[in-house]
Amino acid sequence: MPMAAADDYWNHNTAYHPWLLTLARPGGHALDMGCGDGLLTQRLAAASQAVTALEPDPAALMRARGRVGTEPRISLQFSTFEEFDSCDTRFDLITFVASLHHMDLRASLQKARDLLAPGGTIAVVGLSANRSVGDWLISALSLPAVRLGSRRHRERPDIGVVVADPRESLSEIRRVAGDVLPNVTIRRALYYRYLLHWTLRD
Protein backbone atom coordinates (compact mmCIF):
# COMPACT_ATOMS: atom_id res chain seq x y z
CA MET A 1 0.00 0.00 0.00
CA PRO A 2 1.34 3.48 -0.79
CA MET A 3 2.45 5.48 2.22
CA ALA A 4 0.61 8.68 3.08
CA ALA A 5 2.84 11.73 2.66
CA ALA A 6 2.61 13.15 6.15
CA ASP A 7 3.14 16.88 6.54
CA ASP A 8 2.64 17.45 2.83
CA TYR A 9 3.52 20.88 1.44
CA TRP A 10 4.22 22.74 -1.81
CA ASN A 11 7.16 24.88 -2.88
CA HIS A 12 9.20 25.59 -6.00
CA ASN A 13 10.91 22.20 -5.73
CA THR A 14 7.98 19.96 -4.83
CA ALA A 15 6.11 21.48 -7.78
CA TYR A 16 8.16 19.08 -9.93
CA HIS A 17 7.70 15.94 -7.85
CA PRO A 18 4.86 14.74 -10.12
CA TRP A 19 7.25 14.84 -13.10
CA LEU A 20 9.87 12.85 -11.19
CA LEU A 21 7.33 10.26 -10.12
CA THR A 22 6.41 9.58 -13.76
CA LEU A 23 10.03 8.50 -14.28
CA ALA A 24 10.07 5.96 -11.42
CA ARG A 25 9.81 2.26 -12.29
CA PRO A 26 7.38 0.19 -10.21
CA GLY A 27 10.01 -2.55 -9.84
CA GLY A 28 13.00 -0.25 -9.86
CA HIS A 29 15.54 1.13 -7.42
CA ALA A 30 15.72 4.93 -7.11
CA LEU A 31 18.52 7.06 -5.67
CA ASP A 32 17.45 10.42 -4.20
CA MET A 33 20.51 12.64 -3.79
CA GLY A 34 20.11 15.37 -1.19
CA CYS A 35 16.82 14.08 0.16
CA GLY A 36 16.33 16.92 2.66
CA ASP A 37 13.35 16.19 4.89
CA GLY A 38 12.47 13.09 2.86
CA LEU A 39 9.25 14.14 1.12
CA LEU A 40 10.37 13.07 -2.36
CA THR A 41 11.94 9.92 -0.92
CA GLN A 42 8.63 9.04 0.67
CA ARG A 43 6.78 9.64 -2.58
CA LEU A 44 9.31 7.64 -4.63
CA ALA A 45 8.90 4.69 -2.28
CA ALA A 46 5.25 4.49 -3.28
CA ALA A 47 6.26 4.31 -6.94
CA SER A 48 9.41 2.14 -6.73
CA GLN A 49 10.51 -1.16 -5.27
CA ALA A 50 13.32 0.48 -3.30
CA VAL A 51 14.74 3.94 -2.63
CA THR A 52 18.20 4.85 -1.38
CA ALA A 53 18.31 8.44 -0.11
CA LEU A 54 21.48 10.39 0.67
CA GLU A 55 21.66 13.50 2.86
CA PRO A 56 24.86 15.15 4.12
CA ASP A 57 23.13 17.41 6.67
CA PRO A 58 22.50 15.60 10.00
CA ALA A 59 19.53 17.77 10.99
CA ALA A 60 17.75 17.21 7.68
CA LEU A 61 18.49 13.49 7.81
CA MET A 62 16.93 13.27 11.27
CA ARG A 63 13.77 14.90 9.95
CA ALA A 64 13.74 12.50 7.01
CA ARG A 65 13.98 9.54 9.38
CA GLY A 66 11.04 10.92 11.32
CA ARG A 67 9.03 11.24 8.11
CA VAL A 68 9.66 7.80 6.58
CA GLY A 69 9.79 5.83 9.83
CA THR A 70 10.67 2.16 9.39
CA GLU A 71 9.47 1.82 5.81
CA PRO A 72 11.48 -1.21 4.55
CA ARG A 73 11.70 0.06 0.98
CA ILE A 74 13.75 3.09 2.05
CA SER A 75 17.43 3.23 3.00
CA LEU A 76 18.49 6.61 4.39
CA GLN A 77 22.22 7.28 4.46
CA PHE A 78 24.29 10.10 5.94
CA SER A 79 26.56 10.78 2.99
CA THR A 80 27.61 13.21 0.31
CA PHE A 81 27.30 12.03 -3.26
CA GLU A 82 31.07 12.19 -3.66
CA GLU A 83 31.59 9.82 -0.69
CA PHE A 84 28.71 7.48 -1.53
CA ASP A 85 29.68 3.85 -2.16
CA SER A 86 26.92 2.00 -3.98
CA CYS A 87 28.55 -1.41 -3.40
CA ASP A 88 27.97 -2.18 -7.09
CA THR A 89 24.25 -1.35 -6.89
CA ARG A 90 22.94 0.25 -10.08
CA PHE A 91 19.89 2.50 -10.09
CA ASP A 92 16.92 2.88 -12.40
CA LEU A 93 16.35 6.51 -11.43
CA ILE A 94 18.71 9.07 -9.87
CA THR A 95 17.14 12.35 -8.76
CA PHE A 96 18.72 15.66 -7.80
CA VAL A 97 16.21 18.22 -6.55
CA ALA A 98 17.84 21.58 -5.74
CA SER A 99 20.96 19.64 -4.76
CA LEU A 100 23.22 19.43 -7.81
CA HIS A 101 24.37 23.05 -7.46
CA HIS A 102 25.83 22.15 -4.05
CA MET A 103 28.27 19.77 -5.80
CA ASP A 104 30.88 19.70 -8.52
CA LEU A 105 28.72 19.62 -11.64
CA ARG A 106 30.87 17.56 -13.99
CA ALA A 107 32.06 15.02 -11.42
CA SER A 108 28.54 14.51 -10.06
CA LEU A 109 26.99 13.95 -13.48
CA GLN A 110 29.77 11.52 -14.37
CA LYS A 111 29.23 9.56 -11.17
CA ALA A 112 25.46 9.53 -11.65
CA ARG A 113 25.93 8.23 -15.20
CA ASP A 114 28.18 5.44 -13.92
CA LEU A 115 25.64 4.44 -11.26
CA LEU A 116 22.78 3.91 -13.72
CA ALA A 117 21.40 0.53 -14.63
CA PRO A 118 20.79 -0.02 -18.36
CA GLY A 119 17.76 2.05 -19.29
CA GLY A 120 18.10 4.09 -16.10
CA THR A 121 17.40 7.81 -15.93
CA ILE A 122 19.02 10.87 -14.37
CA ALA A 123 16.50 13.60 -13.52
CA VAL A 124 17.47 17.01 -12.16
CA VAL A 125 15.30 19.80 -10.85
CA GLY A 126 18.06 22.38 -10.70
CA LEU A 127 18.93 26.00 -10.08
CA SER A 128 21.16 28.08 -12.34
CA ALA A 129 22.80 31.45 -11.90
CA ASN A 130 21.73 34.51 -13.90
CA ARG A 131 24.82 35.59 -15.83
CA SER A 132 23.54 37.15 -19.05
CA VAL A 133 21.04 39.86 -19.89
CA GLY A 134 18.82 37.11 -21.30
CA ASP A 135 18.95 35.18 -18.02
CA TRP A 136 17.86 38.23 -16.04
CA LEU A 137 15.15 39.09 -18.54
CA ILE A 138 13.63 35.61 -18.44
CA SER A 139 13.65 35.68 -14.64
CA ALA A 140 11.94 39.07 -14.60
CA LEU A 141 9.28 38.02 -17.10
CA SER A 142 8.46 34.88 -15.10
CA LEU A 143 7.99 36.76 -11.81
CA PRO A 144 4.20 37.33 -12.12
CA ALA A 145 3.55 33.65 -12.84
CA VAL A 146 5.87 32.59 -10.02
CA ARG A 147 4.08 34.81 -7.51
CA LEU A 148 0.68 33.61 -8.70
CA GLY A 149 1.69 29.96 -8.37
CA SER A 150 3.18 30.51 -4.93
CA ARG A 151 0.03 32.22 -3.72
CA ARG A 152 -2.29 29.66 -5.28
CA HIS A 153 -0.47 26.67 -3.77
CA ARG A 154 0.27 28.35 -0.42
CA GLU A 155 3.99 27.95 -0.83
CA ARG A 156 6.13 26.90 2.09
CA PRO A 157 9.47 28.36 0.94
CA ASP A 158 11.56 27.59 4.03
CA ILE A 159 11.56 23.94 5.09
CA GLY A 160 14.71 24.21 7.21
CA VAL A 161 17.30 22.67 4.90
CA VAL A 162 20.72 23.95 3.87
CA VAL A 163 20.57 26.24 0.84
CA ALA A 164 23.23 27.65 -1.49
CA ASP A 165 23.32 30.01 -4.43
CA PRO A 166 23.93 28.37 -7.81
CA ARG A 167 27.32 28.97 -9.42
CA GLU A 168 26.85 27.96 -13.06
CA SER A 169 24.61 29.63 -15.60
CA LEU A 170 22.20 27.54 -17.63
CA SER A 171 24.51 27.89 -20.64
CA GLU A 172 27.41 26.49 -18.60
CA ILE A 173 25.23 23.65 -17.30
CA ARG A 174 24.15 22.80 -20.86
CA ARG A 175 27.78 22.69 -21.99
CA VAL A 176 29.04 20.48 -19.17
CA ALA A 177 26.01 18.19 -19.18
CA GLY A 178 26.28 17.82 -22.96
CA ASP A 179 29.90 16.67 -22.58
CA VAL A 180 29.01 14.04 -19.97
CA LEU A 181 25.54 12.95 -21.11
CA PRO A 182 25.21 12.78 -24.91
CA ASN A 183 21.86 14.05 -26.19
CA VAL A 184 20.79 15.22 -22.72
CA THR A 185 17.57 17.23 -22.54
CA ILE A 186 17.61 20.46 -20.53
CA ARG A 187 14.82 23.00 -20.49
CA ARG A 188 13.95 26.06 -18.48
CA ALA A 189 10.99 25.65 -16.18
CA LEU A 190 8.87 27.88 -14.02
CA TYR A 191 9.89 28.85 -10.48
CA TYR A 192 13.48 29.63 -11.53
CA ARG A 193 14.27 25.99 -12.14
CA TYR A 194 15.60 23.94 -15.03
CA LEU A 195 14.77 20.30 -15.75
CA LEU A 196 17.46 17.88 -16.92
CA HIS A 197 16.56 14.45 -18.24
CA TRP A 198 18.87 11.74 -19.59
CA THR A 199 18.42 7.99 -20.07
CA LEU A 200 21.20 5.42 -20.46
CA ARG A 201 20.26 3.51 -23.55
CA ASP A 202 20.59 -0.28 -23.46
In a domain, 5, yes or no: no
Distance separating alpha carbons of residues 172 and 148, to the nearest angstrom: 29
The answer to whether residue 31 is domain-embedded is yes
Handedness of CA 165, 190, 199, 48 (dihedral sign): positive
Residue 118 has pLDDT above 90, yes or no: yes
Report the Cα 91 to chain-centroid distance in Å: 14
- pLDDT confidence band for 2 (50 / 70 / 90): very low
Kindly give, in sequence order, each residue whose CB lies less than 8 Å from that of residue 178, ignoring residues fewer than 6 positions away.
184
Residue 1: predicted pLDDT? 33
Q: Note whether residue 103 is domain-resident.
A: yes
Tens digit of each residue's pLDDT (9 = 90 or more) over 17-44? 999 999 999 999 999 999 999 999 999 9
Establish if 187 belongs to a structural domain. Answer: yes
Give a yes or no: residue 3 inside a domain.
Answer: no
Domain around 85: 14-129+159-199
CB atoms within 10 A of CB 201: 8
User: Do 101 and 33 form a contact (C-beta atoms < 8 A)?
Assistant: no
- Say if residue 136's pLDDT is above 70: yes
Average pLDDT score over residue span 51-69: 96
Interatomic CA distance for residues 47 and 53, integer angstroms = 14
User: Is residue 64 assigned to a domain?
Assistant: yes
Specify if 151 maps to a domain: no
Asked whether residue 6 carries a pLDDT value surpassing 70, the answer given is: no
pTM, full prediction: 0.94
pLDDT above 90 coverage of the chain, percent: 92
pLDDT score recorded for residue 67: 94
Q: What is the CATH number of the domain that holds 163?
A: 3.40.50.150
C-alpha distance across the termini of the chain, in Å: 31
Contacts with 90 (C-beta within 8 Å, 6 or more apart), sequence order = 29, 115, 116, 117, 120
Write down the H helix ranges in 115-180.
Answer: 133-152, 170-180
Count of domains forming the chain: 1
Q: Is residue 154 part of a domain?
A: no
Q: Indicate the average pLDDT of the chain.
A: 94
